[in-house]
Amino acid sequence: MPQADAGPPPADQIPDVPLLKALGDRRSIRYFDADRRVEPWKIETMLQAARFASCQGNINCTEAILVDKETCEVWDELEECVSGFNVQIINQASHLIIWLTNLNAWYGRAVDGISTVSLAGATTKYHGWNYEFSMTQTIPRLMSFPPERTENLLRFETGQAVAQAMAAGVSLGLGNILIAFGRKPGGVEKAFGLPPHYRFTWGHAVGYPLENPNAGGQRPRLKFERLFHDNAFGTPLQSNPATVEMLREKGLIQEQAPLEGRIEEIVDIAERHGRDPGMLFFPAREIRRLMNDPDWDLGPRIRAYAEHVLQTEDLPDYPDEMRATFQRLMEEHGIDASKFLPDEG
Ligand SMILES: Cc1cc2nc3c(=O)[nH]c(=O)nc-3n(C[C@H](O)[C@H](O)[C@H](O)COP(=O)(O)O)c2cc1C
């Protein structure tokens, strides 16, 4: 029976999670408690957070369909579209959010969008805004963008909205993951009968985590200096150890995965659900290469686990039939494939 919407508790009973902590707590959650439904007020909070994300010219191009598998008439069609490794996830999650990008917002809402921010006291003559110039130059120029260019701009904007929704969800104790629907291109658009100027941008599963909400620690990233450039491309922007220390205290930077007990935890979840408890492993050569790659920020836990895997697991060989395809694909992108490929024979 559908639950009655009890509405939110009083605001002062909802714990306040500082933003840096909420951002640090976020993980892609892949194991959801199928027996717990997310309260409508929490979903609405996430969507409200998306609604107030920054958006170009206030055109509001990001929309979403909230999908409840119990009541959505096109659930079976959606399930056929989702990539195979996401099927379990959407079936255990409480809700699915289908994020959409409305390309016509760019063309149809440019005037009203800018008018609203002017009336709101945001855009002013101080910065050179002027009605006649806007109407005869700026807005017609923006509106003459081809849809492909508009699409690039607006999909970025949808990403902004989704990130805010996720952060809000995390702050309310929810788990989130973005999931690909690559199995049936165009299938989601068809299932919902989307008008041609709408793009399905991404799927987003939401629910209460079945796994520990810390998901076994923060997932590794490339080093800060490898990602950010100082005034010139290729000049690394240096991270300050004192800032990193402060961010650890604030919870933005957290202990790297895999935390103690993580592997046992997911093996146990798999066994309880009658699923294969095995992990995805790469060949020994690939693991060693990765551990020696100076670009990655790999801490002691992941290094120790890699060592353990190298010593105890029956690791796969490189699939030789992939060699030529892999080499061609890397060449097409101008990337030297040699470090990724084992010696022939
Ligand atoms: C646009 C986007 C699409 C993603 N699609 C999938 C997906 O289809 N399946 C999945 O398991 N994870 C997916 N992820 C999650 C990433 O794998 C994950 O963010 C990444 O491994 C880093 O882990 P973290 O999010 O826990 O920090 C996606 C993430 C993004 C941003």
Q: How far is the C-alpha of 195 from the C-alpha of 59, rounded, in Å? A: 18
Among 107-111, 173-177, 253-257, the range scoring the smallest mean pLDDT is 107-111
Q: How far is the C-alpha of 98 from the C-alpha of 200, rounded, in Å? A: 7
How many residues make up the chain in this entry?
A: 345
- At 337 the pLDDT is 83
Q: How far is the CA of 136 from the centre of ligand 1 (A)?
A: 43
With b for 16 or more beta-carbon neighbours within 10 A and e for fewer, the 200-221 pattern comes to bbbbbbbbbbbbbeebbbbeee
Is 177 close to ligand 1, i.e. is its CB under 6 Å away? yes
In the chain, the domains with their CATH numbers are: 11-207 (3.40.109.10), 224-314 (no CATH)
Atom of ligand 1 nearest to the CA of 182: 8
Cβ neighbours for 64, distance < 8 A, ≥ 6 positions apart: 47, 50, 97, 98, 99, 100
Q: How far is the CA of 319 from the centre of ligand 1 (A)?
A: 25
Residue 344 has pLDDT above 80, yes or no: no
Taking CA atoms, 248 is separated from 111, 168, 261, 296, in Å, by 45, 20, 22, 19
Of the candidates 159, 161, 208, 201, the residue with the CA atom closest to the CA atom of residue 29: 208
Of the candidates 91, 103, 36, 104, the residue with the CA atom closest to the CA atom of residue 203: 91
Q: Which residue's alpha carbon is at the smallest distance from atom 17 of ligand 1?
A: 28
Q: How far is the CA of 179 from the centre of ligand 1 (A)?
A: 7
Q: What is the mean pLDDT of the segment spanning 18-33?
A: 98
Compute the Cα dihedral for 68, 72, 76, 78 and give only its sign: negative
Of the candidates 161, 160, 141, 137, the residue with the CA atom closest to the CA atom of residue 149: 141
Report the percent of the chain where pLDDT is more than 70. 99
Q: The pTM is what?
A: 0.96
Q: Which residue's alpha carbon is at the smallest distance from atom 2 of ligand 1?
A: 178
Q: Which residue's alpha carbon is at the smallest distance from atom 20 of ligand 1?
A: 28
Per DSSP bridges, beta strands 175-179 and 62-67 are unpaired
Q: How far is the CA of 195 from the centre of ligand 1 (A)?
A: 28
Q: How far is the CA of 187 from the centre of ligand 1 (A)?
A: 21
> 23, 25, 26, 28: which to mutate for ligand 1, most atoms within 8 A of CB?
28
Q: What is the mean pLDDT of the segment spanning 312-330?
A: 92
> 99, 155, 177, 252: which to mutate for ligand 1, most atoms within 8 A of CB?
177
Q: How far is the C-alpha of 224 from the C-alpha of 199, rounded, in Å? A: 33
User: Which tens digits make up the pLDDT trace of 184-218?
Assistant: 999 999 999 999 999 999 999 999 999 999 999 99
Of the candidates 303, 301, 308, the residue with the CA atom closest to the CA atom of residue 279: 308
- At 1 the pLDDT is 47
